[in-house]
Amino acid sequence: MIKDEKGFADALLAVNEWWITGKSRKAERYPKKRSIFPNLEKELRSKRVVILTGPRRVGKSVLLHQLIQNLLDSGTSRDNIVYYQLDDPAISLSSDEPIKDILDNALSRSKNNRLYVFFDEVQAQKEWYKWIKSYYDRELDIKFILSGSSSLTIQADANKYLRGRTAEAELLPLDFREFLYFSGIEATKINKNDAVALSIARKQIEGALEEYLLVGGFPEWFEIKNEADSKERWLNHLLADVPKKAIYEDMAVYFNIRNPKVIDLLLNMVAVNQSRIISYEILNEVVGLDRATLLNYMDFLKSSYLILEIPVYGGPKKQMKAMKKYLLIDQGLRNSLMKNYAVKEENRGFIIENMVGLALFSTYKDLSYWREQQNEVDYVAGNAPIEVKYQNTIDEKDLKGLLKFLENKGGKYGVVISKDRLEEKTIQGKKISFIPFWLFLLDPKI
């Protein structure tokens, strides 16, 4: 029920300026689009509810506004598009049921064509899914595009109440090719057999690569990168704006956590032990929780897109029992937690291994690691073993784990991410591709 008609109208008009101007200010301010944009644009034509999740500050709101501007440019009536960020309390001052009242108001204003409804940070409204399901099931011509920063709460509710009605997408920090695009550097497809082209390409991107290893892939970096002391200021800003708010505001509220400091400690433990195979017992040495609570807290960190969990290679039972490998969602985020304001040479190999894991995770959803007895492989994408050796002199003994995996699993192909080495060799009857790290980042599809 709307308690204050004027207050309700003012709150909506403040964020739906295209009702007057025909333009989205945010889309005009941020014209560069993420690589996921074309897929979401196509999804606007379907009936399914689009659910976009990802970490805080990764650009979900910008992406929604770009979709809105795309609709306006393609001839959709400005009255048939409504947007609201549901963690903004302004609407609640004038409405007891914000989602219902926004939808009813939009339906009364819209023309006969499809109504596009964009709800940002949808998890901020309790029982949001009931209203979406109610209006969806009325067979009204409404297209819902929802976003949120907690996949656990959103997906659990969507699976329960909207099963079969959704199209889900994730927006993660910029991959390296996107980072180059945002930096104004064109990364064309490279002929790996052309030594001159390879040399030119590396020279063109090496500055951006060093930057990427330090600051990571949150797009907001590009707003301050040209200011004084930007890198240190950025890492401090990132720490305050992403993990601290995700833990002390989002998780503490959504999951009713009385002592969020414990989750903060867990996140720092993961940062210290990133890309190492680690047991829950080691993680628990600092926080001292019972196992069920510890597992829940790790799930909260994963669902808020702060950490990634890499399981062991094998079936579900093996994965449940075995130790895990963890990565932070973004290298810049880890640097901010560790107060690393420069890429030190002694840490470069470790950083490279982490960055390879992040790139593979974005490309292969069945990413794992392998360990048996004294043999280990850094990552397994599908059934392809990938070893990270950030060096150019790589002997057969350095590939012991990778070759053992191929022998045990009957595989014929493996990948080594090197410093500059680019070649294919047959070793013990197995084809091994050596790919420079920078080239791999441009195209992680191995």
Tokens of 387: 């070893």
Retrieve residue 382's tokens.
Answer: 């599908």
Residue 238 is assigned to a structural domain of this protein: no
pLDDT digits (tens, 9 = 90+) for 14-60: 999 999 999 999 999 999 999 999 999 999 999 999 999 999 999 99
Encoded amino acid at 222, one letter: F
Residues 156 and 264 in one domain: no
Structure tokens at 426: 């047959």
At 163 the pLDDT is 87
* Domain boundary pick from 276, 303, 338: 338
Examine the domain organization and report whether 108 and 33 are in the same domain: yes
62-99 pLDDT, tens digit each: 999 999 999 999 999 999 999 999 988 888 888 989 99
Residue 373 and residue 316 share a domain: no
Taking residues 147-160, report their average pLDDT. Answer: 80
Instruction: Locate 233 and state its tokens.
Output: 């200021």
Which residue reads 């969990």 in tokens? 309
Listed in sequence order, the residues at least 6 apart from 106 whose beta carbon sits closer than 8 Å to its beta carbon are 82, 115, 117
pLDDT tier at 215 (50, 70, 90 boundaries)?
very high
SS3 of residue 17 by DSSP: coil
Same domain, 280 and 324: yes
Predicted local confidence at residue 390, as pLDDT:
94
Whether residue 27 is found in the same domain as residue 134: yes
190: pLDDT strictly greater than 90 = no
| Pairwise CA distance, residues 214 & 332, whole Å | 6
Query: Does the predicted TM-score (pTM) go above 0.85?
Result: yes
Q: What is the predicted pLDDT for the residue at 254?
A: 81
Task: Say what the pLDDT of residue 252 is.
Answer: 86
Q: Determine, yes or no, domain membership for 263.
A: yes
Give the end of a domain, one of 116, 143, 170: 170
- Counted residue by residue, the chain has a size of 446
Number of domains in the chain: 3
Is there a single domain that holds both residue 367 and residue 312? no
Render pLDDT for 363-409 as a digit per residue (tens, 0 to 9).
Answer: 998 899 999 988 999 999 989 999 999 998 999 999 999 999 999 99
**Cα-flanking dihedrals φ and ψ of residue 314, to 5°?**
150, -170
Calculate the CA 60 to chain-centre distance: 10
- 299 & 355 share domain: no
Residue 370 and residue 249 share a domain = no
Domain housing 332? 243-338
Residue 194 placed within a domain: no
| DSSP state letter for 364 | -
Q: 415 in a domain, yes or no?
A: yes
CB 434 within 8 A of CB 421: yes
